[in-house]
A and B are shown apart, each in its own frame.
Chain A
Amino acid sequence: MSKKTLSIIVLLIIALIISLIIIDFIGKSSDKRGENPYDLDVDQYKLVDSSLIRYRETKNFPLGDRLPGAIDVYNGLIYLGVEDALLIITPEGLQKKSIPLTGKPESIRVTASNIIIAYKNEINVFDSSGKLLSSWKVDNERTIITSVAVKDSLLFVADAGNRRVLRYTLDGKLLGEFTGKRESTAGHGFIVPSANFDLVVNKFGELWVVNPGEHSIENYSDEGELRGFWTKNSMEIDGFSGCCNPAELAVMDDGSFITSEKALVRIKVYDPSGRLLSVVAPPEKFLDQGHAPEVAADSTGVIYALDFDRKMIRVFEKTDDPQKN
């Protein structure tokens, strides 16, 4: 074999080896793989019939570096709790006032005469000017306060860590508690698999508590006696799915409920009996596997969502044309 032939053979072998290495590298690059044989198709549950979406996002207020904690809307003003302050903001997004806080609140409720701020295991009651009137701790190491609601002089506190609702006066006197358990077999009491346990008092003075493990919204007397409930356990758009939904709840002046769900994040409106009225924001509006936005509504029905993942207040208004969302 001549020297020239040998050289050609060696060069061909080297070229072949380099080609194999390149083909192997390209073939195994992350974007050249086939379909996942173990895929769980979650996207199918994110699809929402556009005719059901009767709200559109009209504006939003990015919070920058501020850490969102809680939101409420009262008398046309937005009350936003961040890491160290309560910001009072106009619907146009202008900050009107700031009240210093000792930490990031878990829940805010504003009434005609009071602002109630709840931390993980502490309640602060301010007057409307921001003067602290009373403050107390819930003395239990498992306590995780997730929501508060006011009815006249009563304060209801949702304690997710102990799966109970506490009832206080506004100056901190404990009047009682209940866990939703009852003698009948209808229900297990509150099932709270995560720190998502919300409650509201509507304009008619009715206390409604989310039972997230049951996917139900339950109406209780002030003393904790179950008076009624509705349940929507379904993967369909009119139901709730997952471990603990609805994660957040708000109520409109007509008694309709605004629900916000975690994981498969979406916001919907139900009538007081549990019939789906509208989708406010479908999952495509939020990050995958995100946190449930906290929701609030003003007297005109405008819905404010505190998006924890995108760190912004998002404003949704009703539209007559479902296609223009």
Chain B
Amino acid sequence: MEKDKSIKRREFIHTGLRLALGFSLAGVAVAAGRKSTAEKWVWQIDPAKCTQCGRCATECVKSPSAVKCIHAYDLCGYCDLCGGYFKPGVKQLETGAENQLCPTAAIQRKYIEEPYFEYVINEDLCIGCAKCVKGCSSFGNGSLHLQIRHDRCDNCNECSIARSCPSDAIKRVPASQPYLIKGEFIKPLKG
């Protein structure tokens, strides 16, 4: 009688373990399936709320920051005197470093025709400090604005810059529509 009982207990434990393993695998499979079909979310900056505080440059876990300046060309006036490119009150509209607002010279000024110029962001140099954004918004049409670039962002669970943003401008957006871009067209974005 004692031996039979022991066998039954062992069978019970084995059966229980098999069932637990089976349920676990099934659970993992269901979770993986749901994850693959559910909407993925990513972090993004709402340009309408951004106050150009500079924290995107200093708080992102990536170095340099995954936040970059984006140019909405349809809003740009292609001005000779660009408030996002030149320091306020410069004497000469020349491309010398002393005249440029950007601390890393990440904006390239290209001549189009007299007196119009195109301004192109070099994302490898841009650190997302928003200095040009503030200049453009304060003195121009507001065509320069910040966006989190998803080919660089780690999409952390708790975004460091979202946590420190003073204007709650950073929020989760569907990965299928990962950018909140001003205007109607920009240069093609990677990522």
Contact = CB atoms under 8 A, between A and B. Distances in A.
Given A243-B79, A263-B138, A264-B139, A30 B166 contact: yes
Interface stretch (B2-10, B18-26, B49-57, B175-183): B49-57
Chain A binding surface SS class: loop
Given A193-B79, A213-B115, A235-B88, A40 B140 contact: no
B184 interface: no
B163 A243 contact: no
A191 interface: yes
Interface in B129-183: 129-131, 134-135, 137-142, 163-166
A298 B82 CA distance: 36
Nearest to B140: A243
A61 interface: no
Interface string B91-131: 00000000001010000000000110000000000000111
B79 A33 contact: no
A141 B134 CA distance: 32
B103 A243 contact: no
Contacts of A264: 138-139
Contact of A263 (B81, B137, B166): B137
Among the interface residues A31, A192, A289, which one has the most CB atoms of the partner chain B within 10 A?
Answer: A289
Nearest to A235: B89
Interface in A234-280: 235, 241-244, 263-264
A242 B83 contact: yes
B140 A38 contact: no
Given A40-B135, A188-B115, A243-B83, A33 B55 contact: yes
B78 interface: yes
B139 A263 contact: yes
A40 B77 contact: no
Given A188-B115, A235-B88, A38 B77 contact: no
B141 A243 contact: yes
A213 B79 contact: yes
Contacts of B76: 193
Nearest to A188: B115
A243 B81 contact: yes
B54 A31 contact: no
Nearest to A187: B115
Contact of A38 (B83, B114, B129, B164): B129
Interface of B: 52-55, 57-58, 76-83, 88-89, 101, 103, 114-115, 129-131, 134-135, 137-142, 163-166
12 contacts: A36-B54, A38-B131, A40-B134, A40-B135, A40-B138, A188-B114, A193-B76, A193-B141, A213-B115, A241-B88, A242-B83, A289-B137
In order of increasing CB-CB distance, the 3 nearest A-B pairs are A193-B77, A36-B54, A38-B129
